[in-house]
Every structure is written in C-alpha cells, then in structure tokens.
Amino acid sequence: MPQTVSTQDALVYAMVTVSAVDGHMADPELMTIGNLTRVLPVFSGFDSDRLPDVSRTAAEILAGSDGLENMLSLLEDAVPEKLYDTLYAMVVEVAVADLDLPQEELRFLSLLRDRLAIDKLTAAALERSATARYRRV
C-alpha cells in the first residue's frame, strides 16, 4: 500500500473499488470515473493522465491480503471527514452508471457507509439522486 495517498487519489480508489468489486469494470462505470475526475471541483488540479496509474494502484491494493479492509482504512484516513459525503456520492454515481447493482457493489456501499458513518438520510438522498439521474425512459 502506498505510504501517503492524496485525497484525490483516494477518491479515485473508492470509485475504482465499487466498479471492480463485482469482478467486472463496466464501460459506463469507467466513463463515469473519467467524467467525474474531469468536472468535479474536488478534482481541481488532478492530472487526468494519471488516472490509469492511480486505478492500477487501487487494483493492487484490492488484490492484496485483506484488500477490501485495507482499502476502507485507507479511504477513512486519506479523505478528510468533510468530504465523506462527497466520496460516497461519487461512489454511488459510479455504481449506478451501468444501471446494474450487483450484491458485491451493494455490500461495498454498505461497508463504506458504516466505515465513514454516513447517516441513513444522507445516504438515501445521495442514492436516490444518482438513481434518478441514470433512469431511462
């Protein structure tokens, strides 16, 4: 695991984790990760050319012993508490991008909510908002 992780890298790790946790990183999820890193203010100054390398590092962490637990600890430590809801919002956005929420992704969302102490009302609002944005006719 990297010694020090920037907040922006940690946010990417979280998005990669929710996409990869079911064993398949769908194209809509990958596109959403790229789009979010380009448009959200929290990624101001982030070099999008680094996205493949940062994503690979996230995959390496997840592949290691106790990968998911290590990732949750890293996210908790590297992301300031004031950005926990931002992190959760981005992860939900990636999860719903392919209009499929397998059990593995739901489980990761639950673990992340618990680890970051995201209250139920905030979580429900973020989840509902993302679901509404990706709904099709």
- Give me the CATH number covering residue 64: 1.10.3680.10
Q: Is 1 inside any structural domain?
A: no
Q: Is 39 inside any structural domain?
A: yes
How sure is the predictor about 3, in pLDDT bands with cuts at 50, 70 and 90? low
Q: Is 104 inside any structural domain?
A: yes
Supply 44's token pair: 């101001």
Transcribe 3-33 into DSSP letters: SS--HHHHHHHHHHHHHHTTS---HHHHHHH
Reported as a single tens digit per residue, the pLDDT across 96-105 is 999 988 999 9
User: What is the domain extent for residue 78?
Assistant: 7-134
Supply 25's token pair: 């990183």
How sure is the predictor about 84, in pLDDT bands with cuts at 50, 70 and 90? very high
Q: Is 17 inside any structural domain?
A: yes
Q: Is 84 inside any structural domain?
A: yes
Count of domains forming the chain = 1
Q: How far apart are CA 1 and CA 72, in angstroms?
A: 12
Does 136 have pLDDT greater than 90? no
Q: What does the pLDDT average to over 93-120?
A: 95
Average pLDDT along the chain: 95
Q: Is 24 inside any structural domain?
A: yes
Q: How high is the pLDDT of residue 113?
A: 98
State the burial class of residue 28 (Cβ atoms within 10 Å of its Cβ: 0-12, 13-18, 19+).
middle
Q: Is 2 inside any structural domain?
A: no
Looking at per-residue pLDDT, the higher value among 128 and 136 belongs to 128
